[in-house]
Structure 1
């Protein structure tokens, strides 16, 4: 249903390093850097698997209160996301595990990114 989304970040380089690591663990990568002549001089990049679907934008109003969940193909991918996020400076908000109170096969991991956004990887497959 959602084609793409994005967030504002306070420290672009710190956020980019965090998402370079975490997106790779989910099979995604940096796919596009928008030329600054189109962004008013701000850094803007897009991550995705087959097209840019998650965007970081320098400046604006970053911070807590935002929750974004990324799909993972399997539970090992959720585990890899969590490990990469923690190694890249993320803060724990829920280690990988089953969340049966959400759904029987809901396996997820939650971290806070450098701006305090609640970022999640989730797999709905039984394994």
Structure 2
């Protein structure tokens, strides 16, 4: 749905480690990286990418939702994100108030951003 999203982080090393590990279960890998002021670009092989760079500016908190192909990927994202230093913001499960098959998990990243993995498909 987007070409790329780029945002600043206050602790590049912590955020880099968090996103690389938390998104690995979703097939996301590093596609480019430079100095912390340039940052890192992550992608799952599509044209869309997530970029982050180190800055001391304080942006408002954001919400990023990453697409998962299966509910198992959502579960794996949640476990990996917590192991990478994320904080729980909603364990994996159905969110029927969005729609009947909305299966998601939410974590807070090192900068306080709400990071989600969501699968819209029915259970296999």
TM-score (norm 1): 0.89
Residues 1:45 and 2:24 aligned together = no
Give the count of matched residue pairs. Answer: 122
Q: How far did residue 62 of structure 1 move?
A: 4.5
- Look up the SS of the partner of 1:125 in the other structure: coil
Q: How far did residue 61 of structure 1 move?
A: 3.1
Q: What is the RMSD computed on CA atoms of the aligned residues?
A: 1.6
Residues 1:105 and 2:101 aligned together = yes
2:14–2:110: 8 Å Cα contact kept in structure 1?
Answer: yes
Alignment map for 1:23-62 (pairs within 5 Å): 23-34=23-34, 36=35, 42-50=37-45, 51=47, 53-62=49-58
After superposition, the C-alpha distances for 1:4-61 in whole angstroms (9 at most, x for unaligned) are 1022100000111111101211111111114x4xxxx714110001156000111043
1:46–1:52: 8 Å Cα contact kept in structure 2?
Answer: no
TM-score (norm 2): 0.91
- Look up the SS of the partner of 2:117 in the other structure: strand
1:97–1:108: 8 Å Cα contact kept in structure 2?
Answer: yes
Distance change (3 Å), C-alpha of 1:75 and 1:81 = same
Q: Which residue of 1 aligns with 2:18?
A: 18
Question: Any unmatched runs of 5+ in structure 1?
Answer: none
